[in-house]
Amino acid sequence: MLFSNLVNASELLQTHVQKLAQAETAVSGIHENLDRAAEVVKTWSENIPNGGGWSNWVLRFGTPMAALILGNYGITPTLTMNAVLLVSGKFDSDLMQ
């Protein structure tokens, strides 16, 4: 009985060691993927200009257009409403910059 329990415990320990090795391999792979993702984000953040460039243009033109499109959802568009939405979008884009 004691020998049987010892063999069973030994087998359980070996199984546990194998599962730990598998977990270590999985974690290592995840860590490598996260390192690569961090490098990509770092490269992007270094290449995107701060306070200028295309990101400014996206805000300048994208925000008023988004306000116009989203503001007209579910209502009948009129020239006056479109003008109000464009002006408010322009105002919002200026605030975001």
What are the Cα distances from residue 10, in Å, to 16, 32, 38, 71, 76?
10, 33, 41, 69, 76
Query: Domain check: are 76 and 94 in the same one?
Result: yes
| Mean predicted confidence (pLDDT) in 73-97 | 73
Query: Domain check: are 42 and 72 in the same one?
Result: no
What are the Cα distances from residue 15, in Å, to 4, 19, 21?
17, 6, 10
Query: Domain check: are 3 and 43 in the same one?
Result: yes
pLDDT tens digits for 23-77? 999 998 888 888 888 888 777 767 665 555 666 667 667 777 777 777 777 777 7
Residue 48 is classified by DSSP as S
Query: Domain check: are 8 and 31 in the same one?
Result: yes
Domain count within the chain? 2
Query: Domain check: are 59 and 30 in the same one?
Result: no
Query: Domain check: are 36 and 62 in the same one?
Result: no
Domain containing 83: what range?
Answer: 51-97
The tokens for 56 are 């400014």
pLDDT of residue 20: 94
Query: Domain check: are 58 and 39 in the same one?
Result: no
14 has a pLDDT exceeding 90: yes
Please state the pTM of the whole predicted model.
Answer: 0.42
